[in-house]
Amino acid sequence: MQYILGIDAGGTKTKCVVTNLDGKILYSTTGGAANLLISNYENTFHTFLELIIKCKSVLNFNYDEIRIALIGAAGAGIPSNAKKWEHELNFYLKSKNIKIKEIHIDNDARIALEGAFAGKPGCILIAGTGSIIYGKDLNGNIHRSGGFGRIIGDEGSGFSIGKKALKVLINEIEGYRQKTIVSRLISKKFFIDSIERLIFEVYKNNFDIPSVAPLVIEAAKMNDEIAIKILDEESNELLLLIKSILTKIKQEEIKLSIAGGLLDNDNFYSLMLKEKIKNQMPFIKITEAEFPPEIGAVLLAKQIITPNY
């Protein structure tokens, strides 16, 4: 028997599913964080190794029975990254006496798109730590907008929202602005009460800027005007991503799935965005994802091993 492994490499946890060649789910499990964008990714490869070994122990297959393993990972939208990671992961697994026939690494947004619409046309907007939108047109062509990283992109993301909120906190501490709910929430949760402390956390202690975003959403729910303004500006940036992809996918009706840590549930930010889409783009139908990203990885793997799938 031959197997397909679909893996969704996440910043906090990694999801893995094993199917037969027809896509029937045989086993699913989760592992630790897997971020291939960091310079030393030995830990990420170890996460993949643990998942593969666990699947083998449960299903009792041989490694050479894995027909293909497809991994969705942030940063793999750049072909040179994907090829490099595929080569180095193969080398790593061989050093552990594991040989898999085919390993493919693709963008995590790509497998999310495939899962959301079960391989059919549609668009998926993802806003978590970063932001990106992927779409598939009626001819099966893939399009994308955004996803350029925190330095030159990722508008509407947790990083962008968190950065703006920290600037509000700076202005308050410096005496440029009256106190706000959002700054009070940040100070209370992260024990930041001075510029020196903030500088230390951000520049010396690797402060997790996107972790501030949920506090902005919480403050907005409490009618904090500054928090609402930040979310209004950032949701407009997500609208621009949608409008950008629409120029590439020229269809009268578009299905859109919304995903990512900031949009997965009905909070102040996600509801604000959905209301704007409804009012400004009534031809877009917001739909729930049919399958999770790891199933999307399986569907994409099936297309690779069966081109006419």
Read off the pLDDT of residues 160-194 as tens digits, 9 standing for 90 and up.
999 999 999 998 888 777 889 999 999 999 999 88
The average pLDDT across 262-285 equals 94
Q: Residue 307: its pLDDT value, please?
A: 62
SS3 136: strand
Run of H or E including 288: none
Contact yes or no for 36/85 (Cβ under 8 A): yes
Q: Residue 149: its pLDDT value, please?
A: 76
Run of H or E including 23: none
pLDDT at 255 over 80: yes
Instruction: Kindly state the tokens that stand for 69.
Output: 């393993």
Topology alike, domains 3-115+292-305 and 121-288: yes
pLDDT at 135 over 90: yes
Supply the DSSP string of 57-100, one letter for each residue: HHHT--GGGEEEEEEEETTTTSHHHHHHHHHHHHHHHHHTT---
Residue extents of the structural domains in the chain = 3-115+292-305, 121-288
Name the percent of the chain lying above pLDDT 70. 98
Q: Which CATH class is domain 3-115+292-305?
A: alpha beta
Confidence of residue 39 (pLDDT cuts 50, 70, 90): low
Q: Residue 83: its pLDDT value, please?
A: 93
Instruction: Return the DSSP state at 291.
Output: S
Q: How far apart are the first and last CA of the chain?
A: 20
* Tens digits of residue pLDDT in 184-240: 999 999 999 889 999 998 898 889 899 999 999 999 999 999 999 999 999 999 999
Q: What is the architecture of the domain spanning 121-288?
A: 2-Layer Sandwich (3.30)
CA–CA dist 270, 129 (Å, integer): 15
